[in-house]
Amino acid sequence: MTAGPKNLSPEQAVERLIADIARPTRLLVAISGGSDSCGLLVALSKTNFPGSGLSLFAATIDHGLRPGSADEARAVAALCGRLGIPHFIRRWEGEKPRTGISAAAREARYRLLLEVADEVDATAIVTGHTLDDQAETIAMRAARGEGDENSGLAGMAHAVLLDRRRWLLRPFLETRRSDIRDFLTGEGQGWIDDPSNLDPHYERVRVRERLAQEDRFDAAAQAMAAARRTALSDEAARLVREYVTIRQGVLAHLAPAGLKGDEASRRHALSFLAAVLGGRAHALGSDSMDRVMAFLDGGQPGRITAGRVIFDRRRDGLYLVRENRGILPLHLPAGNTAIWDGRYRITNTGPHEIIVGPTAPDRDEALALFPGVPPAIAMRAVAAMPFIETNAPLLAEDRENKGVAERSIVRPVLAPFDRFLPQFELRFGIELAVLLGCDGFPGLPVKDSWRKR
């Protein structure tokens, strides 16, 4: 494997993390017992001395998918005990899905890590993802096509915000697994080999075997792809800041000047803007965006639908709004919180179940809420707004739905970035959050120079 100019030893990677992170800091190390996470914990422990401004914690997620996983978690606890690091074990309980087990396990792992991070008030979660993992990730994404424009070629970001709550940092992304194992051997420390890492049933294992035979990874190309993705996202952020408005959280308008200029940044901005308005967790795919861009490049008024969003081009610019089909009602018991239509987080603070659905369109109300907007578009926008009612008999103060909505907390959801916000997209995500009226993101806990690497 050709690692390029940024092949760091475990000690160097940890030194860089400590130099870049604001202190005092509290780091939660995700440790499975494998060589990568053990190497990260041991390397960090060597910097954890009185007056360092560093507090370390560790967490092991027992997925319960293999015999002996509980014993492995206890072995990690013993290692943490020897290092004087507080350790937590969390087990993935409940029935496991028959398909998509890897994705489900990953979701459970992040959810449980976040619970521990909240408990210890961690500045960040740190994981042992390595240069080898980065090479495998890029190879898998490259296989899905799109050539040099494939944003997946940027690989994993050094920092990712999880659930808008805690940053996850990956300090070993420029460190080879073989160097980590040499470091652990030198420290007299062993590790646990997960047999699933040899199971060819998994795509990553097959890719790993192929990469081992080819013995190549172009780190310089990955760095260029990461810089290209960051620059593209930052330009999309500028476009959104200068030319986009969002009304009532449901209707976006792109001024005519925003339809000109760099095509790549327009494509990037619109793909994520549509995901936000459509309540989708991922930006529109390349096929959908090809259709949208071809429509826009035609320069003629008209409409096209993609990703549950209507793109309506008029002489005064482009309007984007959630299409009115497929907006399902949500029954929300008292005291519960849930996501409606992928676009709003609703909390029922009242004593009775509520039902959240689309607002019945009324022309006069639509024109009042969206002044200056073409009536047909205003009507669509009203129908995309949430309407809250209750199943319970209405009290006097609840007549005409008064009081019902007041006992509910309604927050907009930034669907593509609420779960995972990679550092590449940070500035763009901030601009979208401002436009939508979302709460701000926690600040990046490391120096912003990471964006320039």
Q: How far apart are CA 183 and CA 84, in angstroms?
A: 20
Question: Residue 396: what pLDDT?
Answer: 47
Can you read off the two tokens belonging to residue 343? 């676009």
69 is in an annotated binding site: no
Please state the φ and ψ torsions of residue 260, each to the nearest 5 degrees. -105, 175
307 is in an annotated binding site: no
pLDDT tens by residue, the chain, 453 residues: 333 446 899 999 999 999 999 999 999 999 999 999 999 999 999 998 888 899 999 999 998 878 888 999 999 999 999 999 999 999 998 888 888 888 898 999 999 999 999 999 999 999 999 999 998 888 888 877 654 456 778 899 999 999 999 999 999 999 999 999 999 999 999 999 876 665 566 666 676 677 666 766 778 888 899 999 999 999 999 999 999 999 999 999 999 999 998 999 999 999 999 999 999 999 999 999 999 999 999 999 999 999 999 999 999 999 999 999 999 999 999 999 999 999 999 999 999 999 999 999 899 999 999 999 999 999 999 999 999 998 666 544 444 445 555 678 999 999 999 999 999 999 999 999 999 999 889 999 998 654 454
Q: How far apart are CA 204 and CA 136, in angstroms?
A: 7
Kind plus residue range of the DSSP H or E element containing 182: helix 177-186
End-to-end Cα separation, the chain, in angstroms: 20
Q: Supply the Cα-derived Rg of the chain in whole angstroms.
A: 24
Give the CA dihedral 19, 22, 24, 27, nearest 10 degrees: -80
Q: Which architecture characterizes domain 4-224 according to CATH?
A: 3-Layer(aba) Sandwich (3.40)
287 is in an annotated binding site: no
32 is in an annotated binding site: yes
pTM confidence score: 0.89
User: Contact at 8 Å (CB) between 321 and 297?
Assistant: no
Instruction: Output b/e per residue, 102-122; b: 16+ Cβ within 10 A.
Output: eeebeebbbebbbebbeebeb
37 is in an annotated binding site: yes
Q: How far apart are CA 129 and CA 156, in angstroms?
A: 9
Local structure of residue 396 (DSSP, 8 states): G
Q: How far apart are CA 443 and CA 13, in angstroms?
A: 22
- Residue 365 has a CB neighbour count (10 Å cut-off) of 15
Question: What is the residue extent of each domain of the chain?
Answer: 4-224, 330-412
- Give the strand order in the sheet containing 302-306: 244-247, 251-254, 317-322, 309-314, 302-306
CA distances from 161 to 64, 110, 169, 405 (A): 26, 11, 9, 31
Question: Residue 21: what pLDDT?
Answer: 94
Question: Residue 76: what pLDDT?
Answer: 96
36 is in an annotated binding site: yes
